[in-house]
Structure 1
Amino acid sequence: MNRALRMAIASGVLPLLTGVAIFLLWLAWPLKELALAGIFVLLGGIVCFLNGGVALGLYWVRSGRDPAVTPRRRWLATLGAGALLLVNFPVAAGVIAAVVRQETRLTVQVDNACSQTLSNVRVGGGGCEAALGQIPPGESAKCYFWIEQDGSLSLQADREGASPVNGQGGYVTHAMGGHSIFTVQEDGTVQLEERRTRLDRGHAFDATVSRD
């Protein structure tokens, strides 16, 4: 294989595989270092694309002078390597969109710490609403919001043989992500714990704010 063609192919494969690998690792471990590495891969991908484009141009010129390379082989190799270089752009756009969606997602969790079953559980705020149905004692339920407007979170629920549950608090803004946990206590009061960075798959938060 022509050296210039190998360079063009490598310029397409390297940022593609590296970027996807970092994104998958970030989904499992949302570390700031991985996010920073992803930014560097995006910038490096632009350099690789330019380098690959030059290498592909050299291959096209040189292979045209090589009698051992048929026109069909020349076209197939050029189109294949070119497509590999270009596919990095839609993949990068998809990764960026997925990261933005994940980072702007607000997880709202309701923990039932009382001895009665919570029924007709409803959570809302910021132009979003969700019905969580019933939550037995000692269990939890969660939903996901993409906040549309400024506002505050609220929780409403019914309890067997007791007064309804009403919880307020937790100011939210458009495109705000994080994790908010409503805990319904035995006396029907609600404690709200706000965690400002993503909690998923058991990972830790950067900061925690509690409200009664």
Structure 2
Amino acid sequence: MNMKNRFSAAALAVLLAACTHTTPQTAAGASSDSQSQSRRDAARAVLDQGIKAYQAQDYAAALPLFKQADQLGHMKAARYLGLMVLNGNGMAQSNAQAFAYFQRAANEGDITGQYWLGYCYENGIGTTRNYAQAMKWYTQSARRGDVIAAPAMVALGHLYEQGKGVPANRNHAAAYYKQAMDAGYEAGKTEWQRLQAAQLPE
């Protein structure tokens, strides 16, 4: 703070009092940020442990880790819980519960969760089949444009190729397959090549 000589003693006292009053708030804010970062770091570490157990098909170990990561606020945890309950891995199989987990993950911004929510809507898993909602969530998932988003691009290609909820359009389907292929997704390449080889009329 740059104090100038023309400030009166009273003005200086007021300024010092203001500084004294605001310092604890700043410290509290910094402390809160630090605690939030620590919580995020803890959630990430627990999720990573859960993913390792999940990939090793040790679902008994993965389940409590995903639940803990979910409680700590990691947006991807609900998606993994959805996959586990959808497939009955370490949990009783439940389409309705899987849908609820995917819905929460999608709403929190997890793009793979958004894909799975679209999948549920497309196939009527845990909810009524709704192609408009499937299109909405696939589109949102595909928006990032990278290989993680590529499954949603392929799903959009299928909707356009098969005319599910939209007029059938081979060109739109091919464009989505090519986008997935260009992102490095093998299934996108397979679908694009298949469509090109078929040479179907528009």
Interval containing the TM-score (normalised by the shorter chain): under 0.3
Structure with the bigger percentage of helix:
2
* TM-score normalised by length of structure 1: 0.27
Answer 1 or 2: which has greater strand percent: 1
TM-score between the two structures when normalised by the length of structure 2: 0.28
